[in-house]
Structure 1
Amino acid sequence: MQRLQAYKYELMPTGEQQRNMRRFSGSCRFVFNKALALQKARYEQGEKKHGYAGLCKLLTEWRNSTETAWLADAPVHPLQQTLKDLERAYGNFFAKRADFPRFKKKGQGDSFRYPDPKQIKLDQASSRLFLPKLGWLRYRNSRKVLGVVKNVTVRQSCGKWFVSIQTEREVEQPVAQAASAVGIDMGVARFATLSDGTFYAPLNCFKRQEAALRKAQQAMSRKKKFSSNWKKAKARVQRIHSRIGNARRDYLHKCSTTISQNHAMVCIEDLQVRNMSRSAAGSTEQPGKQVQAKSGLNKAILDQGWFEFRRQLDYKLAWNGGYLIAVPPQNTSRTCPCCGHVSADNRQTQARFECVECGFEENADVVGAINVLRAGHARLACEVNAAVAASASGTHRSDSGAAQCRV
């Protein structure tokens, strides 16, 4: 089977290379914003939007124009990839998968991508990488790159430049080493509770750095904007944010790797994090209730990184021969795993579960994980039966139809 994998390294560019990378990312940002403004104007006038091919023709005109002749100094492929990103963003908007594309801002997500592997040279022995119009760049070679290079993305974060090398390679069909199945209940007091009783404590990296971040932001607000001291204060804020993100990603990778290596099937709640962390402030006419308490809960939920944890579990289980099943989260912590009685009174407190029907007692998170595992088994059996019935009747049933089975 084909495996796509990305390897991220920190670059060690020279001063001239840093200036060129800032110019290239600025050119990509300019092209994106200019194309977005054009598309937005056509959309408001009721005209048909430009496709990717039409935008590339406009890009050629912009590069040859005297007003924007400096665009010709940047490599053309990253500029075209920016237009492709805009086309994808527009498609997601009309498919109701995302909001309307927003204009890019300097200093936020500065990046550019080289899609042609023929223009990229990787010398792992010397820890260097060749990119068009940048030359050879040194990088911190922390691990070996496996596979054939497909594309390279250069990105700035917290004043440093990083490179992500995506590769493709042929691997054997993975077979799960472990034969166990486990259900996971996500929470705030406990980050993840497994159906076998083990749990992972929350890292709460944002909560740990919140006081330092508040002081750094207050110090930055007192500086004159765009002054030298303001830029230094902004760099301190960026370093704290980077520290928080790095700690969270590291913890999620460690937890997801351990679970994916020890279990062949993982059942997890299909949580809608965006809805769960929505503000309760309301409006002037209809103000919200318990706004401060809900704000603290939203902050704690977003500090856990539930969606990123699920994303990592998904591809790591696939790499190890396992699979992930997402089940509806309704009543998973209110259903007794012993007698099946469903009641809100079963959950006495946030951590204590006691069935009012049979008297079964257990930690509420463990009960939720057990019910998630049972729901996953039922969902898997439903899909298998649907596939067997479809093959027996000689008709083809799509995965989307089988996934509509309810447990």
Structure 2
Amino acid sequence: MGRRYRLYPTRTQEQVLTGWAHTARALWNTALAQRIYVYEQRGRSVRAIEQCKSLTEARADKELRWLAELPAQSGQQILRRLDTAFDNFFNPEHPAGFPAFKRRGVRPSVSLPGQAVQVNKLNRHWAEVRLPKLGWVRFRLSRPLGGTVRNATVSRDGAGWHIAFGVAIGKKPTPPNTQPGCGVDFGVIASAYVSTECQPRIKPPSLSVPEHSRLKHLEQRKARQVTYAKKHNRGKYSNRLRATITQIAKLKSREASRRTEFTHQLTTDLAKNHGFVGIEDLRVTNMTAKANSTAGQPNRGVGAKSGLNRSILDNCPGERRRQLEYKCPLYGSELVVVPAFHTSQTCAACGQVDPASRKGCGRTFACVHCGYEDDADHNASVEIEARARQELVLARARRTGGSVINSTHRRREASSSAPRRKRSRETQPATHG
């Protein structure tokens, strides 16, 4: 499990950590360039074991004192992570692309193994961590570690410095619970609509109205200052421009923290209070693709699609799925991913698929076959739950060695044995609004 805390280094320690972060970025780029060059010139691959020997020789060079200031364990961690990046790239089942060079604007971070750090608890709210070549640094103990530290990563964002620990808690998957299952429809207007609830769960705005207005003002100021720097200062950033960028980063970090908090609360509640959680197999990359413009109308729909993409990414459906994948086994539930094909056009009462039931893609679903009316997102969540039940029946049949050739017959049996259709919203318990 991961544990992330706010780190409070002194001004001297902050300068050292900033230098380490730049050194780590330079080492990553140098090691990546060396691997590319060796493969293009000699046709062979270089691994971390070979590069660690070169790193030891480089640290002993007097002209590379800046490289020796970085802890040796951190440099070795960078080379091992580069091995993992290449392994993921060559793995056909992994979606990772080719390892990329890190630019200067990337979030600074330094990784260390668990053997190189030591944690000491001071009181209920504060603790300190001992980093090699830096000494003790205080951090806010917002929650207990709860296990053995395996690794640590120091990073900085707009809110300040943080330290993240990889902790081995020794917790095994919980036996299946007896809670009822549910289907969840992730959307934009309704962040999440659970099939067993009467009201959708709405994500509160990540920024208040004054904060949003201030962010817009700061972005406009940044645009003017960047233009001035390009015209009169040869592109060099002034101190005022850097201060503006820092203020924008603080607001962006606050927005991301609030978004992450809502996502964790939602996924924890779903995994803890349900026997299984059914979600759609969404392709977020395809959903957030840019609008296709034509030669005659190059800007047609580009602005509207950009706004829709921002709303989709603000609800982070991919992160919700990732959290459910590891939280469901911890709470004795099961995550079931079902195809998203026609979930919004299928009637939850009669099972008929008809695009005419969603006139204009509105918020109301009115079946043209049986006359069933419901909220469109709730109707989709009930259909997702039904498909999840069917997938569980088929999976159970595979585990027991049953025949799954006639999948249509199996699906009909699952539909008749489970309360799949005609679920009334008035009879559902009112939980989270």
TM-score (norm 1): 0.88
Contact 2:263 2:320 in 1 (8 A): yes
Please show how residues 174-193 of structure 1 align to structure 2 within 5 Å: 174-175=174-175, 178-193=178-193
The answer to whether residue 111 in structure 2 is matched with residue 113 in structure 1 is yes
Cα separation, 2, equivalents of 1:234 and 1:302: 22
1:194-219 per-position Cα deviation (integer Å, ceiling 9, x unaligned): 11233201334269655432321221
In the superposition, relative to structure 1, how do residues 298 and 164 fare at CA in structure 2: closer, same or farther (>3 Å)?
Answer: same
Please show how residues 31-70 of structure 1 align to structure 2 within 5 Å: 31-45=27-41, 47-70=43-66
The answer to whether residue 263 in structure 2 is matched with residue 265 in structure 1 is no
Identity %: 32
Contact 2:21 2:108 in 1 (8 A): yes
Match of 1:376 among 357, 379, 388: 388
Shift of 1:227: 1.4
Per the alignment, residue 155 of structure 1 pairs with 155
Contact 2:183 2:381 in 1 (8 A): yes
The AA in structure 2 aligned to 1:119 is A
SS at match of 2:311: helix
Shift of 1:259: 1.8
1:299-339 per-position Cα deviation (integer Å, ceiling 9, x unaligned): 11111111112222222222111111111100011111222
The answer to whether residue 333 in structure 2 is matched with residue 322 in structure 1 is yes
Per the alignment, residue 362 of structure 2 pairs with 350
The AA in structure 2 aligned to 1:35 is A
Per the alignment, residue 122 of structure 1 pairs with 119
Please show how residues 136-175 of structure 1 align to structure 2 within 5 Å: 136-158=136-158, 160-171=160-171, 173-175=173-175
Shift of 1:289: 4.7
Cα separation, 1, equivalents of 2:146 and 2:251: 32
SS at match of 2:270: helix
In the superposition, relative to structure 1, how do residues 236 and 178 fare at CA in structure 2: closer, same or farther (>3 Å)?
Answer: farther
Per the alignment, residue 4 of structure 2 pairs with 8
Please show how residues 256-405 of structure 1 align to structure 2 within 5 Å: 256-282=267-293, 287=298, 289-348=300-359, 349-389=361-401
In the superposition, relative to structure 1, how do residues 101 and 229 fare at CA in structure 2: closer, same or farther (>3 Å)?
Answer: same
Cα separation, 2, equivalents of 1:230 and 1:374: 54
Cα separation, 2, equivalents of 1:200 and 1:211: 26
Per the alignment, residue 205 of structure 1 pairs with 206
The AA in structure 2 aligned to 1:199 is P
Contact 1:150 1:167 in 2 (8 A): yes
Shift of 1:285: 9.3
1:351-393 per-position Cα deviation (integer Å, ceiling 9, x unaligned): 1111111111111111110111111111111111112118x9x
Cα separation, 1, equivalents of 2:301 and 2:223: 29
Could you list the runs of 5+ residues in structure 1 that have no partner in the other structure? 393-405
1:28-80 per-position Cα deviation (integer Å, ceiling 9, x unaligned): 11110111122233344472221121222222232233432321121111111
Cα separation, 2, equivalents of 1:305 and 1:347: 25
Cα separation, 2, equivalents of 1:48 and 1:286: 49
In the superposition, relative to structure 1, how do residues 98 and 65 fare at CA in structure 2: closer, same or farther (>3 Å)?
Answer: same
Cα separation, 2, equivalents of 1:210 and 1:183: 33
Cα separation, 1, equivalents of 2:122 and 2:243: 37
Contact 1:124 1:144 in 2 (8 A): no
Shift of 1:290: 2.1
Cα separation, 2, equivalents of 1:327 and 1:285: 40
Deviates more, 1:147-156 or 1:92-101: 92-101
Shift of 1:172: 5.7
Cα separation, 2, equivalents of 1:46 and 1:388: 53
SS at match of 1:109: coil
Cα separation, 2, equivalents of 1:327 and 1:43: 42
SS at match of 2:169: strand
Contact 1:334 1:343 in 2 (8 A): yes
Contact 2:115 2:150 in 1 (8 A): no
Per the alignment, residue 26 of structure 1 pairs with 22
SS at match of 2:188: coil
Per the alignment, residue 80 of structure 2 pairs with 84
In the superposition, relative to structure 1, how do residues 173 and 85 fare at CA in structure 2: closer, same or farther (>3 Å)?
Answer: closer
Cα separation, 1, equivalents of 2:184 and 2:385: 8
SS at match of 1:205: coil
- Give the aligned CA root-mean-square deviation in angstroms: 2.4
Cα separation, 1, equivalents of 2:177 and 2:189: 31
Could you list the runs of 5+ residues in structure 2 that have no partner in the other structure? 230-235, 404-409, 412-433
Contact 2:116 2:131 in 1 (8 A): yes
Matched positions, count: 388
Cα separation, 1, equivalents of 2:214 and 2:18: 29
Cα separation, 2, equivalents of 1:257 and 1:386: 29
TM-score (norm 2): 0.83
Shift of 1:19: 1.6
